[in-house]
Structure 1
């Protein structure tokens, strides 16, 4: 039986001699020098290693825990996405674009669907935004369409909508896309062109364009013919198209139409240009225009009439005719004035609002007074309110009343 304790913390000298702690006359573990070492006149050294090593072992962190703490400290030192100390994360343009995309999804696409054949609401709502994510030029077109619709349906918002900037951006982007068109971008180019054409009148109205709005619209319409020529070589004419092009949205122009006929006032205007090299282009446009006018009182559905009216610009008129309109050729201006009046057949929606009065009045001010007599029907039609009265006026313009009067006079 041990009646004492061995020194655990005694000095090195006493432990080397195996001196027991608190044993009479031996190491009393006094620090910094025990009594035994004092009596012997030797250095008294304490071994701190054992006690300190135990304390270090007790307090030394686990390596795995230390690694986790180090990783946490590194993450805390990195900037976090949620921190917004440097100011707003989105620019004013990004917020406006987000607002426009929301407006397009909840409102614009439904209103646009009324301007197209049945079954296009889902493509406008689902497919169009997907194309916008794939092609920047399509996104520019979609944002402009949404902005024009918002400005048209909520005029109070116009002050905060940079329509000019978005229009320029969309048109420049589309021109670049057309110049570098590929099979992969073909559908997006067609879609963007259709959207910009559909809202062309409204865009011109909001930006107070000084020229003929119909000319800008016809430019976009004619431009789409290039897509068919480049990528559908088998289609030798608009009637041969397979219906997948933007023009094909309106079907074959000649389906359901009667024989070609030219309104007498347009005939006289063309005759006045006798010998002009432009006569052929105006004649072609006027002949098919007469077939359109004959449909107005035929009891057709509005959507059918809309397809035919748009098809005249998309599929029928020669490119030369548009050049003549822009050059203010009198016979071309008379012809296009009759065409513009056809848009009054439809409700004055945000898409066509103001078109008829703006362009016909502009033509009347532009054309030489000697030719203004041939604008009698379009100028009268601007002020007609009732659809039935307008249809009667248009269809009546196909009858040459002057010839009938001359015949009656000769009979007397």
Structure 2
């Protein structure tokens, strides 16, 4: 056996390399590893080491049995930002500054802010001029008043949008990652301190931008060292989409007493088409076949009566949202699915239940109608075919139920005819009018908020586990900040704790 090659230990390496237990080349002002990953190095910024330490904490280990659910672990708290320190929007984002060149950093921020207010803001809302104006004018003004995490979120999303048109621009890659890291850190710290009247609007808007970034980031996974396919398990489900969008739901439910009178939040919510769901299960629906055999499945796989109830309701509700969105897809209705499905449904996805996967495939099929939106381009084809790869081709029971999303995802053409889609779009206006008569989206949130308040006051055990808990949102956001995979991309880790 050849002798082991000797090596010189790095005793004066940077904090990040020491935390990751890798050799540091000790190059100043930024070591080679930090330069490679486009992250801050304490050689360059000595005062930032204490803030960087949470991002260096290894992520929780995942369960060997499922590969999706994390094991329980205790993590250190996310550091808060000193509220007495003035932090204008034109600043190096913390905890990950872009560069030591102050002028270069300021020019980058000016570039990002200009792009956001002229172009990116128009892509955050679908078919809603009112929401576009709010995202363009009102939201930046709110960020200027001291909501630093909101300001960083705007810049992060703008950098991601610019990167879409210039995918090889490493400055934009670093900017997108750095500003979102700063957003998550300060946002989580603010949530930890509590939601109140003064920060409710900013927290809602930031949660929405985090969800947007999570969704849009999926198109860059290959460039960032990740992939929609895992080397061992094959296709990786985009569970981070659900985590982040349901985070928005948790913030809304927890702060509705202040948001219900907001001149910023209410118009954004009201721009969404009203939920008009048929939860009876008695009427024939387009996706009703996805519920065939559900009782037998529940009886065979769920021993706990409470779990059986939650599973049945999770499937019924998810299919009802699909049926509703299928009739009015061009309004952006399919995006509501991510925020409205229950915590139990996400758990079923994590367990890779065939029924949940088939429902998810149909959901991504709906997104084909939004393929012209830059952050959704190619999503339907990529995700549907990825989900299909998880099924056995000889599985006759489920293969037939996947035919619609496959046909839609592979359809070539800018407009899908009604006979292929399966719904008459001529009636879209009438359906929207009917939905507005049956109650606005705000009325559904009022109901959610009331249920949330009631369940939070119940002693365990109860069904409150099906509702969002804002403290779980904090834990999830902190996990994102701490994860070492954030150095590759802020939303590559689909195995973090599901907050709902």
**What TM-score do the two structures reach when normalised by structure 1?**
0.61
Between the aligned partners of 2:171 and 2:102, the Cα distance in structure 1 is: 21
Q: Residue 285 of structure 1 aligns with which residue?
A: 318
Aligned to 1:132: 143
CA distance in 2, matches of 1:257, 1:340: 21
Name the CA shift for 1:135/1:233 in 2 (closer, same or farther; >3 Å): closer
Task: Tell me whether 1:355 sits opposite 2:369 in the alignment.
Answer: no
CA distance in 2, matches of 1:219, 1:351: 18
Q: Check 1:349–1:89 CA distance in 2 against 1; reply closer, same or farther (3 A cut).
A: closer
**Contact residue 199 and residue 351 of structure 1 kept, 8 A:** no
Identify if the C-alpha distance between structure 1 residues 226 and 160 changes in structure 2 by more than 3 Å, giving closer, same or farther: closer
Gapped runs of 5+ residues in structure 1?
1-87, 297-301, 397-412
| 1:225 paired residue among 245, 249, 267 | 249
| Alpha-carbon distance in 1 for matches of 2:258, 2:179 | 37
Partner of 1:167: 180
Cα gap change, 1:266/1:365 in structure 2, threshold over 3 Å: closer, same or farther? same
Q: Is the 8 A contact 2:131 2:271 kept in 1?
A: no
Secondary structure of the corresponding residue to residue 332 of structure 1:
helix
Could you list the per-position Cα deviations for residues 345-377 of structure 1 after superposition, in whole angstroms to 9, with x for gaps in the alignment?
124221211211221122122245534443222
Contact 1:364–1:375 (Cα < 8 Å) also in 2: yes
Q: SS where residue 422 of structure 2 aligns?
A: helix
Work out whether residues 216 and 376 of structure 2, in 8 Å CA contact, stay in contact via their aligned partners in 1: yes
Where do 5+ consecutive residues of structure 2 fail to align? Answer: 1-99, 229-235, 303-307, 424-500
| TM-aligned CA deviation for residue 191 of structure 1 | 1.0
**1:190 touches 1:246 (CA, 8 Å); kept in 2?**
no
Question: How many residues get paired?
Answer: 294
* Closer/same/farther in 2, CA of residues 107 and 137 from structure 1, 3 Å limit: same
Aligned residue runs from structure 1 range 5-16, under 5 A: none
- Seen in structure 2, the aligned counterparts of structure 1 residues 318 and 89 have a Cα distance that, compared at 3 Å, is closer
Match of 1:184, SS state, is coil
393 and 179 in structure 1: CA distance in 2 versus 1, 3 angstrom threshold: farther
Matched, 1:198 2:222: no
Which is further off, 379-388 or 349-358? 379-388
Q: Distance in 2 between matches of 1:283 and 1:257?
A: 7
3-state SS in 2 of match to 1:183: coil
Distance (whole Å) between structure 2 residues aligned to residue 356 and residue 367 of structure 1: 17
1:139 to 1:280, Cα distance in 2 relative to 1, 3 A:
same
Structure 1 residue 272, shift from structure 2 partner: 6.1
Do structure 1's residue 381 and structure 2's residue 405 form an aligned pair? Answer: no
Q: CA separation of 1:290/1:328 partners in 2, compared to 1, >3 Å: closer, same or farther? A: same
Q: Secondary structure at the match of 2:411?
A: coil
Partner SS, residue 224 of structure 1: helix
CA contact (8 A) 2:112 2:159 kept: yes
Question: Bigger CA drift: 183-192 or 368-377?
Answer: 368-377
CA RMSD of aligned residues (A): 3.5
> 1:232–1:104: structure 2 CA closer, same or farther, 3 Å change rule?
closer
**CA radius of gyration, larger in:** 1
CA distance, structure 2, for counterparts of residue 318 and residue 222 of structure 1: 9
Partner of 1:117: 128
Q: With structure 2 as the length reference, what TM-score do the two structures score?
A: 0.51
Checking the alignment, whether the CA contact within 8 Å between 1:262 and 1:287 is kept in structure 2 is no
Task: Map 1:304-383 onto structure 2 (within 5 A).
Answer: 305-306=331-332, 308-314=333-339, 316-369=340-393, 370=395, 371-383=398-410
Greater RCO between the two (CA within 8 Å, min separation 6)? Answer: 2
1:150, distance to aligned residue in structure 2 (A): 0.3
Mapped contact 2:130–2:268 kept (Cα < 8 A): no
Deviation of the 1:336 alpha carbon: 1.2
